[in-house]
């Protein structure tokens, strides 16, 4: 029964020592992690709203491709169709934005409301095609006084058409600008109801290639293409090679100079960095191959879009895909990227505590024994004063009381050696006391007498 009580007391003491040692350390670690967690990036949302114009630049096709690609990484893409690039920019603007990212045509100004919109890069050339009927012309100046289909009111096509027509003074009466959508404009041009149409579309578009082969329809070649590109940085001068649409039919039958804005991916400046990198990796996969007008690896690229390049996009185009995203799945790379900051408390707190906690625990165990060394030293100092027999007996009594008290101290087995060391030291003092009580000279006294 007594053994059980001693064992229980030892267990209680050991638990108390552990709690008193570990609890402050655990509190310190928890505080360090709590402070560090404040700086941990939030997890990226697993849903994106992508705004895309219906009839511009082949955006609908690529929107579906992005939807498929991102679904493989667990990100759901909701496609929000708009009337044009202007509308798409509007969905990203303001404090109550209805979209996260959008496809837009370069040169589509967003005004002051677009202050929080950034570019993730240009994806491809989407040339401006000006098809017309009548005598050959080499610039939009020849369209003065014509009926021209320039696209819907909120489309990027209309914005670009108005810029070019306005700078040449062609947009005023008697010129008539018609807000026709793409399909309606093409049909009316074929039927002769309009004199010209402005279209923004990839060179690979079947509608463009069919219209280029339509009888009585001509494709405008911009003789002053270089001048337009210099004045409007978001436009590029491109050459459509002769016969590229149909070599057998030689369509077109001459080189055509085109003006090309770019298709661009823009986003809110609050877009999570992990999603920004995922979108740009997807862009590299979908837009990196060669086309009729694009060279292999030319896109995506940090070209002029009318919006500032995001920090993530700048790093991406300078250094490529971040290391984690290059070698790990999206979810794993994002998790590591978010939690690497947690290494700070591990290195700064846990490592020192890993050494300090065992030392503090050992000190607590030893302190129960070491404080009795003061009693032992007191008895030894009194021995030097040559006490009488009565004093020696009192000293022996105090020494035995100290030994009994120390024997009752609960000490974990791993640290029991400290208890036995103290008992050996008690025996040393006890032997000195016994020699004094028996009248035998102590060793150092005998040595002193011999020396004298």
Structure tokens, 74 = 């667990």
- pLDDT tens digits, one per residue of 108-130: 865 555 778 999 999 999 999 99
Q: Are 186 and 157 in contact (CB under 8 A)?
A: no
Which CA distances in Å does 59 have to 9, 124, 169, 261, 366?
77, 11, 31, 14, 76
pLDDT average, residue stretch 355-368: 70
Predicted pLDDT at 136 = 94
Distances (CA, A) of 3 to 6, 60, 406: 5, 83, 17
Cβ atoms 326, 310 nearer than 8 A: no
Q: Cβ–Cβ contacts within 10 Å for residue 364, how many?
A: 16
- Among 112-126, 217-231, 322-336, 343-357, top mean pLDDT goes to 217-231
Between residues 375 and 357, the one the model is more confident about = 375
The pLDDT value recorded for residue 215 is: 93
Joined together, the tokens standing for residue 33 give 């992690």
Res 329 pLDDT > 70: yes
Average pLDDT of the segment spanning 320-331? 71
Q: Is the pLDDT of residue 448 over 50?
A: no
- 45 pLDDT band, cuts 50/70/90, is confident
Q: Two tokens at 405?
A: 């008290």
Residue 219's nearest CA partner among 204, 234, 240 is: 240
Instruction: Count other Cβ atoms within 10 Å, centred on residue 259.
Output: 24
The pLDDT confidence band at residue 388, using thresholds 50, 70 and 90, is confident
Tens-place pLDDT, residues 50-99: 999 876 767 888 999 999 999 998 999 999 999 888 889 989 987 778 99
* HEC letters along the chain: CHHHHHHHHHHHHHHHHHHHHHHHHHHHHHHHHHHHHCCCCCCCCCEEEEEEECCCCCHHHHHHHHHHHHHCCCCEEEEEEECCHHHHHHHHCCCCCCCCEEEEECCCCCHHHHCCEEEEEEEEECCEEEEECCCCCCCHHHHCCCEEECCCCCCHHHHHHHHHHHHCCCCCCCCEEECCCHHHHHHHHHHCCCCEEEEECCCCCHHHHHHHCCCCCEECCCCCHHHHHHHCCCCEEEEECCCCCECCCCECCCCEEEEECEEEEEEECCCCHHHHHHHHHHHHHHHCCCCCCCCCCCCCECCCCCCCECHHHHHHHHHCCCHHHHHCCHHHHHHHHHHHHHHHHHHHHHHHHHHHHHHHHHHHHHHHHHCCHHHHHHHHHHHCCCCCHHHHHHHHHHHHHHHHHHHCCCCCHHHHHHHHHHHHHHHHHHHHHHHHHHCCCCHHHHHHHHHC
Q: Which is it for strands 128-132 and 218-219: parallel, antiparallel or unpaired? A: antiparallel
Per the CB < 8 A criterion, the answer to whether 375 and 382 are in contact is no
Q: Cα separation of 251 and 208, whole Å?
A: 12
Q: What is the pLDDT of residue 399?
A: 84
Instruction: Give the model's pLDDT for residue 265.
Output: 96
Q: What's residue 39's pLDDT?
A: 60
| Predicted structure pTM score | 0.67
pLDDT at 414: 64
- Between 150-164, 215-229, 262-276, 336-350, the lowest mean confidence (pLDDT) is in 336-350
């Amino acid at each position: 029964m007594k053994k059980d009580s001693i064992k229980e007391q030892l267990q209680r003491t050991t638990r108390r020592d552990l709690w008193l040692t570990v609890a402050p350390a655990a509190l310190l670690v928890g505080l360090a992690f709590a402070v560090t967690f404040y700086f941990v990036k939030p997890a990226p949302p697993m849903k994106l709203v992508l705004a895309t114009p219906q009839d511009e630049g082949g955006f609908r096709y690529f929107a579906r491709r992005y939807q498929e690609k991102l679904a493989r990484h667990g990100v759901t893409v909701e496609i929000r169709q708009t009337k044009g690039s202007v509308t798409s920019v509007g969905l990203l603007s303001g404090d109550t934005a209805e979209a996260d990212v959008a496809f837009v045509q370069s040169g589509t100004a967003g005004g002051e409301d677009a202050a929080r919109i950034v570019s993730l890069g240009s994806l491809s050339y989407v040339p401006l095609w000006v098809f017309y009927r009548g005598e050959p012309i080499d610039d939009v100046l020849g369209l003065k006084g014509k009926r021209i289909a320039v696209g819907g009111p909120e489309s990027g096509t209309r914005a670009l058409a108005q810029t070019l027509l306005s700078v040449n003074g062609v947009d005023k009466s008697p010129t008539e600008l018609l807000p026709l959508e793409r399909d309606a404009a093409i049909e009316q041009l074929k039927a002769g109801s309009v004199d010209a149409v402005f279209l923004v579309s990839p060179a690979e578009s079947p509608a463009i290639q069919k219209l280029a082969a339509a009888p009585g329809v001509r494709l405008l070649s911009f003789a002053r293409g270089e001048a337009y590109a210099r004045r409007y940085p978001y436009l590029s001068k491109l050459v459509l090679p002769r016969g590229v649409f149909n070599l057998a039919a030689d369509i077109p039958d001459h080189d055509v100079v085109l003006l090309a804005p770019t298709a661009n991916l823009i986003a809110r400046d609050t877009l999570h960095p992990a999603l920004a990198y995922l979108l740009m990796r997807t862009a590299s996969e979908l837009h990196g191959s060669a086309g009729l007008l694009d060279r292999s690896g030319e896109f995506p690229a940090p070209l002029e879009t009318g919006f500032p390049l995001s920090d993530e996009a700048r790093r991406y185009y300078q250094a490529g895909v971040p290391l984690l995203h290059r070698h790990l799945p999206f979810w794993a790379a994002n998790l590591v990227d978010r939690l690497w900051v947690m290494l700070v408390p591990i290195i700064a707190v846990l490592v020192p505590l890993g050494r300090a906690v065992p030392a503090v625990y050992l000190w607590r165990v030893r302190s129960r024994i070491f404080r009795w060394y003061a009693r032992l030293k007191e008895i030894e100092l009194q021995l030097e004063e040559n006490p009488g027999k009565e004093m020696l007996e009192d000293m022996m009594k105090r020494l035995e009381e100290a030994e009994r008290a120390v024997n009752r101290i609960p000490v974990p087995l791993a640290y029991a050696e400290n208890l036995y060391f103290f008992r050996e030291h008690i025996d040393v003092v006890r032997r000195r006391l016994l020699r004094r009580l028996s009248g035998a000279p102590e060793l150092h006294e005998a040595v002193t007498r011999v020396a004298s």
